[in-house]
Chains A and B, each alone.
Chain A
């Protein structure tokens, strides 16, 4: 469902991704690990269509279409969702209004009718339960004054509401306490399906104890330098990234 080939991207004259390739099948869960500043969030932003990044080479195919030809909105409509590392606050806009606008906009662009209010509320209830989102947070302004963990939980809540085909979780685990990690992970697991794929960016093996990945990739220096099964994450946890750098140097 996702084929990234030899992707090169730069920002402000600096090359951040240099020859990144990655393939994912439908229903698969892949994890991306890698040192700070290696380009993980950049990859997420590029998948989402942020125009601050200049793609100089390579291609991205999503569900058989050229993703790079679509703008950010079209990609979201096509089913790309990013749970952001740093979710932004939108003062004065209630979470509910935000989500309703979002869902109905996607439906409208697909030529569908707006979601009836009753269905929407039922869905909100169901999805909030999935991640145990506090009722008060639903009615507050989008992320405004939310704690770090609450923001992350809200991202997964939105994920559940929007039902994307590809969900990129950018360090959704950082900032979550132990209980929250468990709750959010089981929420994500409940959302796994044969059509939906997850790309999980994380620094910690413990998340992968809960959400077991089919593949683990190491992103370093703007490329995938190693891929393996879930045991690779354990190995990284144990040894850090130095050994990969050393192997690469050889």
Chain B
């Protein structure tokens, strides 16, 4: 049976969104099933994101729109899965789409109904902190933007039905059963926040001023219940002292939550910092066990929170909270370092709640016949992190393990990458491509502008005098036609617009309605369907900028609408058709680095039929994994590596170059050329390829500390692991001390290497297994066994591994006297301790190969971060790609990570790369910068500001009377230009034209502003 080129993605949070986009971009039809009425998930509720304090909705909204408008993605809101049958490649899935009690096709999202609805319901998006109407949209930026009726609240009064001009409301609409044929399924159902009500000692639900972190997040949000003012629930005052309690519903064996939720340490810090930013009088205190800032640049964020924002961290777990009846303030009791009990009063307590499995996980697992793990999350394996127990069904995001947004995005791409392997033969079978008529050549015609002005029901028409504006617009130069529509965006108006274009020979079109951010592509597509270049379109936002914000000043709103239209007509008169260029693609890839990451990416792409060049600087494949025997979860790494290498070497499409060195890289997306020398005698070869994957890995830090290298009893974790797994050296030992964070989290290497805690615990457990009586003491600063790794931390403590914490300012000291090893460690609670081990194991960090990375970064023209790891395009939402198109990143080259995470990111990188490799041609945008060469003085200031490597200086011959001379001219590569226009503004000679936002066009708008209507 032929495989079906369609995929069902279940869950519309950031994981589902990313997986859908990746799959749809690489040639599959995607059904995105979401259980609520909008995609966006938890991320849409967040105010800011760590560690950059990016505004969450700013970065998410474009993705929402992209998903909503993607021609290969069909979003099925309000739906749930009923059953699934079939096998990988061809599943049949039944799902129910619950009725919204209105017709989604007809609803324009204008929101009139909600304004008139007399019934209030609780706003779940705002975590029940405010109310909304019984007919509502989930949040203002919702996609799709449709309203729905809360059937428990609706009294059926009929007001909304009466007022809806689009006639969308139909109380009697029934649930729908949908059957889909798909080749694969991706699960991205996310998590639930832990509900702390059962922890009665904390008083959540009883004390008004004890709230959860997600509630606090909404309070922080500018679009939250108090518009970003931080007011506490009991009396609406500003809480000066706020306590955050960590690990509520996490790392709690008593309540059977013995995993770490991975994100709370960071989001709490973020909330504390943002609270402080909002209101400087706030004094945040965080009660914590360990600070698990294990991700890229996380430790720096914590340091800033402490040093710049004065966030106070206290290492205590709080087990109970008391309320002061009159003031509703809260008393938190804890013990100080010297054993004194302190009672501190706080005005607000925020519980940092953990991630729980989605409450629907169980039911879904049964319906899909997949296994869950002991905690109720989806079961996966180390070497196949995005595969469920049923083949053809994949998982990503926090349904697999608790995780933050970048890792979720990585896994979503990884899931897409693995679907690619399964379904590549069915690629492009089910996607639709519209047949479009030839473009009309209107470049020589004088402008004939048509203007369509929208009433938006009464949203615009109720305030702005639309007919009057239409009459006014008709008087403007070059306008040959103008009309008004009830809804300009409705399907019948699109037909009407097309007819009017033809009938009146229009060659420029303006729509005055809502925001171009959501609706411009729709109208552009409409005019393109009758042969007009899509850039001959302009949009004016008279709803969000006139009727809605000047509601009580109809005359001024009308006058402003006229002004905006006049400006737009001025620009439209200057519009010219823009050409999108096609560039060819070499369907081969270059993977730099032959470790697990590079090999995984190479294999993924080769299994889809693409030729891959894999270059490795050493004489054998395997990278750092060659030193790892088992994972913390006891998977056999060496065995896995053996198979992986065999698969690589036997694959005809993969060309491995060992002992290789890269001499130079040129070209751009689709068309790179790389010169390498390889082999024992440095043979030189040029490789032509369309994409590059950087998988250069990291290396182990070679310690200078603790007499390393001078005494055989002082070794690194890697050496220790080798001894454990390949010799019986440790049999005779009595006592081992492990020292954590050697070469990590210090001034030279101010970041966490992420893997060392797990390494230490893994090796400690192995040592205990070999020799149960051995004493093992781990000296640590924080134990960072995030996610399910926490289980092994607990194991180790059960097995009597001793953990002693030290602080950065007082690291353990080593003394060797009469051949005896002596470690002196200072614990903040216990004071100074002395240990006499027979072996000292240093948990050394992972460091970037600085010189190599710097060289490669220069050749690729991509940035490194302060720690010399490669810096991705966007820390939160683009963790796999660089700002420069066609170059991707995976594994430890990005930041330290374990095998499981490296495999995920590598499959994700392959998923990004295959979007390019699988396309015959790439289409550039028309919105680009173009240099007018004769005026260019070759100063290079444009090159400096361009973040996308789109501009370079090219040597040109300049002929004078009797001699020629080389001069430099700037050139913008349209394949790389993003059209931001920064170079245009920076050019001292104003000789860069920014298409569609050109100097004349903008100037025309400015001059039109003041000509009075």
Say whether A associates with B: no
Residues on B close to A: CB < 8 A? none
